[in-house]
Amino acid sequence: MKIAVASSENEVAGHFGYCESFFIFRGEDGRITKQEELPNPGHRPGFLPKYLHDLGVNVIISGGMGQNAIRLFEEQGIIVITGVTGSPKEAAEKFLNESLPLTAEPCRKD
């Protein structure tokens, strides 16, 4: 299982597309076995879902995400979880331990 967490300033990013980096966690048997940080290659419409899919990511965790991005991730077979705060590692650990609420609510534009 590979979990990507959108991150800015070592916290879960408020919006995945504008994050500084992605922490990629490999999880097995409820624990993290590997961790790496990759810089965000840039926000271009439709790019990040395929990019993360090509890295083998199964789950994306973020503070927020637009409806179109959610749809594109789901089309790639990637589970989307939004509304998350805190540290990226803690978010990944909670997902692996099934204690992270599985919500995928889109950001609301004012």
Q: What is the pLDDT of residues 43-80, one digit of tens each?
A: 788 899 999 999 999 999 999 999 999 999 999 999 99
Domain 2-96 = CATH 3.40.50.450: no
Say if CB 90 and CB 32 are below 8 A apart: no
| Residue pLDDT, tens place only, 29-46 | 999 999 999 999 987 888
Secondary structure letter of residue 13 according to DSSP: -
Please check whether residue 19 is in contact with residue 11, taking contact to mean a CB–CB distance below 8 angstroms. no
109 burial type by CB count under 10 A (0-12 exposed, 13-18 middle, 19+ buried):
exposed
**pLDDT higher than 90, residue 102:** no
For residue 110, what pLDDT is reported?
40
Q: Where are the domains of the chain?
A: 2-96
Inter-residue contact 81 to 61 (CB < 8 Å): yes
